Amino acid sequence: MLIAAISSRPFVKAAVTAGYAVVALDVFADVDTQRSAEQVYKIDYANNGFDAKHFEATLDQIDTSDMQGFAYGSGFEAQPDLLECIAKRLPLIGNAPEVVRKLKDAPYFFGVLDSLAIPHPEVSFLLLANAEGWICKEEGGSGGAHVLNAVTNQDLPKGQYFQRVIDGTPISMLFAANGTEIKVIGFNQQWVAPIAGKPYRYGGIVGNANLPLAIKQSLQEAAKKITMAFGLRGLNSLDVIWQSGQYWVLEINPRLSSTLDLYQSKGSNLFALHVQAVSGDLSRFPVISSRSKARNVLYAAQDVVIPEDLVWPDWVADIPMALTEIPQHQPICTVLAEADLAVEAQALVVERLDQLSALLFK
């Protein structure tokens, strides 16, 4: 199996557990991914996209003759054309490029939501005479760093749009789809790690979030309608803002989501579920643990070189290679935690984040 993503580690590990030999392409080529994959290729990435020429040149180096397919995570939302090129070489284990293209075409996507009577924040594709209470987003952006406060009379480059800010809690739902039906894997709650100029930068997430039954049912119904409208297949995630029993859809991520990591286990292999769902089969749905797992990104508080003698705690993933130079504000690794309840897992992961930060930035 060939797997590519900005950070492919959770998908590679799940695929290996499912019995696949994996060749991985990603931006970091971290220690964990190198341990799990047969080969790892580091791919250049900038401006919400892979370097397409570098990506295709790397593919030319790989023997794909005996591979079952190509599965992908984050990084392709703004590059359906690159997915089309890859699909000429290998079967896609995921949504078709045209599905990704439509979902990441903001006017089209929000128009479909309107036709389905699914609530979403107000959006605008015109200059704003008063930008107060608005943000500017990029179609196909990921990680939250592309979300900026809007500026009055700001030019709107192609591929960007304005969205009204709604105060609330960011939550998401991971689900499997077979083109017409869905099955829910879990509900998650996110938080941000803001810095100057990037107020919505992704911080962390906790699975099996304690949400009211009514909002869970509403998200399930919304995902079912969107799946029917776009023909979603495989694992997907629905991102929303939740406030006092109401919700507003922000986007669908039509690809493998890192939230897979919150529910993946030996007894519930979600990569195997992804492959089955893409083929149209949702009948072999795994038992999902009720325990909560949390993940938090550790960003560099200052420029740092990873020490050769650093002993990483066993609750760290996405570990960079020794002597890697990481600029200030860039991600270093992912901190993990697990507990019976979501609130406990979140508290523990934040505590561990502080511990590791103190270790690296004494």
Q: pLDDT at position 176, please?
A: 98
One-letter amino acid at 50 equals F
More confident residue, 208 or 139: 208
Strand partners, 121: none
pLDDT beyond 90 at 178:
yes
Summarize pLDDT for 256-292 with one digit per residue, the tens: 999 999 999 988 999 999 999 999 999 999 999 999 9
- Output phi, psi for 166, to 5 deg: -125, 120
Average pLDDT rounded to a whole number, residues 76-83:
94
Q: Which residue has the tokens 């993946």?
A: 264
Task: Identify each DSSP E strand in 27-168 by its residue range.
Answer: 39-42, 45-46, 49-50, 70-72, 123-124, 134-138, 148-149, 160-164
Q: pLDDT at position 266, please?
A: 83
Summarize pLDDT for 12-38 with one digit per residue, the tens: 999 999 999 999 999 999 999 999 999
Question: Of all residues in the chain, what percent are helix, strand and coil, respectively (each to 5)?
Answer: 30, 30, 45
Q: pLDDT at position 155, please?
A: 86
Average pLDDT rounded to a whole number, residues 39-50:
91
In the chain, the domains with their CATH numbers are: 2-93 (3.40.50.20), 103-278 (3.30.470.20), 292-360 (no CATH)
Using an 8 Å Cβ cutoff, are 9 and 78 in contact?
no
Summarize pLDDT for 138-159 with one digit per residue, the tens: 998 777 667 889 999 988 888 9
Q: What is the pTM of this model?
A: 0.96
Residue 197: which pLDDT band, with cuts at 50, 70 and 90? confident
